[in-house]
Amino acid sequence: MKKQVFNPYLPNYEYVPDGEPHVFNNRLYIFGSHDRFGSRFFCDNDYVTWSAPLCDLSDWKCHGIIFRRDQDPLNRKDLFPLFAPDVIQGKDGRYYLYYCPAGTKTVGVAVCDEPDGQYQFLSHVKDMEGYLLGLRDYDPYPFDPAVFIDDDSSIYLYIGFAPEENYDWMEKEFGTHPHKSGAFVLKLEDDMVTVREEPREIEITDCRDGRHLFFEASSLRKINGLYYFIYSSFYSHELCYATSSSPTGPFRYRGILHDNGDIGLNDITEENRISYTGNNHGSLIELNGQWYIFGHRPTNYSVFARQGVAERVEIRKDGFIVQAEMTSCGLNDGPLKPEGAYGAYIACHLQSAQGALHYLDNCEGAGFESIRDNHPAFSQDGDDREDNPNQYIKNLRDGSICGFKYFSYVKSTHIRVTTRGAGGIFEIRTSPLGNVIAEIPLTEKQEYHESIPVEVTFPECDKLALYFTYRGYGSVDFISFEFC
């Protein structure tokens, strides 16, 4: 690659969660929803797509808006956000975008001759008599559509949503016209919009903990003859997977693919998560012979400004996949180089002295101001905008930890940091609670400033993890660090 690539993999001013990765014409494309920094709701922006050549996954290009919210005939007044989409190349060579505008209870389909062009509304998914899927009595709730074309050219559409309260919640939300909760699959005709076989519920077996069962974010992949149903569970911060010999199931639960707080790895639990968590959505893709899981992370004390991340995974011969670890290097070809400057926003471990929180449970409503005052977060200056990459970690207080994994091993180097805010020190470690191997003094200033370089000698290891712990009074914003 011409340069290194980090997590989040898109420029740090961009907020594209729910990423469905696809390879078309030797390029990796990301199709997702589009959050707005500073918003108090999901998916406030129109759909955009980004892509990178397979030969250089650091060379990302934005293709601009591919579909506007008001292009859907049921959303002409632009009242409803566009939740997570999916795109597939049809049998006719054209590209089909599937999406669900919140509030319409339908699945829309748009089409384009190119994967990154201007999609035009085609139709809503409907049955043979023209009735729209989602508006018929007791249809599944149309949410987070995923589309898959099998080797026999059968076209499958996956939809569904499973709120905690199930039917009680649905009946309250939709009155006397409740939708079925859960995950569902149906077959489409070759026109890509007409229901060929009615929705059938997806069964997931062998899940001992019911909270690992389906909640939202359907995705389907076929790998080595095995069908992988990927979804977000009731825990919401994790992507789980289940496998089957059939695209319609039943599927057998196999485990967690990705968790944006590393819960489930190395004895990390809900109580001692290593970073702030929110919901999650993504899927698997093979790139240059290596498999990756794509997901997203929350920022700005909320789940309304999410950013895409990706991690390597290994698929065993029996189909089992070990849970991916959150890292700073993601799509990079191995660990990062211990040289030059890095933005603090690539941290994969972030917590206060009191630990980290699940934003969906703790960062809305009563108590939010206290949480915002006492915890760090990924943030940026100013409003939602493009071409101004200034994301940083804000509000580090005494005992706050931010970690970066991984770098190639270096025995000794100098490190300096750029911060603003209070004084104090950064303690440097190679694990969150390991021995302090160096201290960087910080000067109190309200504008960005560099510290003096401090020599750091690392214990011998295969790859290097770098942790900064703030000790001092007040609040510090962490902009970047540099090997020098």
Place of tokens 């065993």: 316
Of the residues 86, 116, 139, 216, only one is catalytic, namely: 216
Residue 210 tokens read as 């019911």
In the chain the first and final C-alpha atoms are separated, in Å, by 23
Query: In this structure, what DSSP letter does residue 274 have?
Result: S
Residues 6+ apart with CB under 8 A from 206: 252, 253
Residue 289 tokens read as 């012979």
Length of the chain: 484
Query: In this structure, what DSSP letter does residue 101 have?
Result: B
- Active site includes 59? no
Residue 94 tokens read as 């054209």
- Active site includes 18? yes
Q: Are strands 251-259 and 204-205 parallel, antiparallel or unpaired?
A: parallel
**H/E stretch holding 371:** helix 368-374
Count Cα atoms within 13 angstroms, Cβ side, for 251: 31
Quote the CA–CA distance of 282 and 296 in Å, as a whole number: 7
**Positions of E strands within 190-248:** 195-201, 204-205, 214-223, 226-233, 238-244
Residues 6+ apart with CB under 8 A from 42: 33, 35, 81, 83, 303, 304
Which amino acid is present at 483?
Answer: F
Of the residues 14, 18, 44, 86, only one is catalytic, namely: 18
CA distances to 16, 34, 484 from 390, rounded to whole Å, are 17, 19, 21
Contact 49, 28 (CB under 8 A): no
Count Cα atoms within 13 angstroms, Cβ side, for 270: 8
Catalytic center residues: 18, 216
